[in-house]
């Protein structure tokens, strides 16, 4: 059976942080864009402890001016 790719959460988180900084956005600005009461979700994304849901992933890509594929970092399956 072929190994299936998986999302590398740690590398994806680092990638989200880099893309956010490259776009010139602060965590607070992203928090406001998403309408989150606190920045915890964004910090979890950046730390690789959680991933944005599909709706937030699509919005994040649009806000950062990239594609969803540019955000996600894939690893080979086990």
pLDDT in tens, 14-39: 999 999 999 999 999 999 999 999 99
In this prediction, residue 1 carries a pLDDT of 58
Distance in angstroms (rounded) separating the CA atoms of residues 48 and 45? 5
pTM of full prediction above 0.85: yes
Average pLDDT over residues 57-74: 97
Residue 2, SS3 per DSSP: coil
Beta bridge partners of residue 7, listed in sequence order: 74
pLDDT band (50, 70, 90) for residue 52: very high
Strand ranges for 1-78 from DSSP E:
6-7, 74-75
Q: Is the pLDDT of residue 77 over 80?
A: no
């Amino acid at each position: 059976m072929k190994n299936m790719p998986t999302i590398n959460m740690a590398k994806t988180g680092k990638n989200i942080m880099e893309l956010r900084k490259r776009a010139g956005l602060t965590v607070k600005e992203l928090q406001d864009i998403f309408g989150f009461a606190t920045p915890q979700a964004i910090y979890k994304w950046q730390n690789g402890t959680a991933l944005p849901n599909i709706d937030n992933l699509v919005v994040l890509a649009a806000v950062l001016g990239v594609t969803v594929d540019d955000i996600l970092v894939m690893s080979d399956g086990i």
